[in-house]
Amino acid sequence: MEIIAREVNPSHIDFSIYFDDDGLRSISGKNCACYILGSRRVGGFNEEEYNDIVSTAEDLIEEYDYTKNIYEAAKNILPNLILSKDLATKLLSWVDTGTIDTSSIVEFLTLTTGEKWEFRSFYGYSQGDYCEVIYCKAYYSESHITEIGKFWLGCGTEFCIDGCYGYFVIDELRWEEGGKLRNYLAELYGCKPEELKIYLYAGEHIVTDYKLLERVV
């Protein structure tokens, strides 16, 4: 059995398919989404939800400034948060910084969800292509976050396998053109590596056609 894997023309690649995944958007309800803060050039992902988190964090700081009581402030802004003495101490320390940036929001999410959150930065091919991916470590591996960051910036390629599009590969793996790429594509598709016949994109050229002008007798 031979399965054809053909690399898509770079100008036709659509990474938006990758980001249509429900898991990335946390549609199930639990906050296992990832949030992408992009540059003005590349934009962001799940921005509305992220801005809601930032607003809640800002509200908590303002509420504490008013009440001077972390328990009361948390009760008013985060009514579903069970505040132990240890968590209250950590949350108070966070509030006292009064800082709202990516690092502080990551810490805020860690404190309020009980899960470890982190963020990673990625740069694209062109100057100004930059993003930060904020994610929960319980749901995303380092390799998955690398994919998310790179694909958001377009640093990858797409393959059509057996007529089906949407098989994405990060740029470093594509450039190797070796066994790792073959094994990865086989894993994505669910077949044996030796069953794949892989065609890599090598450019395009224009073919000029002519027709013979018939001689008039």
Q: Is 99 a member of any domain?
A: yes
Range in 81-85, 105-109, 174-178 the model is least confident about: 174-178
Residue type, 54: V
Which pLDDT score is estimated for 67? 96
For the chain, give the percent of residues with pLDDT over 70. 100
Which pLDDT score is estimated for 13? 94
Q: Is 171 a member of any domain?
A: yes
Same domain? 118 vs 184: no
Same domain? 126 vs 56: yes
Once rounded to an integer, what is the mean pLDDT over residues 33-56?
93
The larger pLDDT score, comparing residue 27 to residue 194, is at 194
177 has pLDDT over 90: no
Domain containing 3 equals: 1-14+154-217
Nearest to 54 by CA among 115, 114, 113, 104: 104
- Compute the chain's Rg from CA coordinates: 24
The pTM for the full model equals 0.87
Q: Is 57 a member of any domain?
A: yes
Same domain? 132 vs 51: yes
Q: Is 206 a member of any domain?
A: yes
Q: Is 101 a member of any domain?
A: yes
Domain count, the chain: 2
Pairing mode, strands 130-136 and 35-38: antiparallel
Which pLDDT score is estimated for 217? 74
Same domain? 71 vs 102: yes
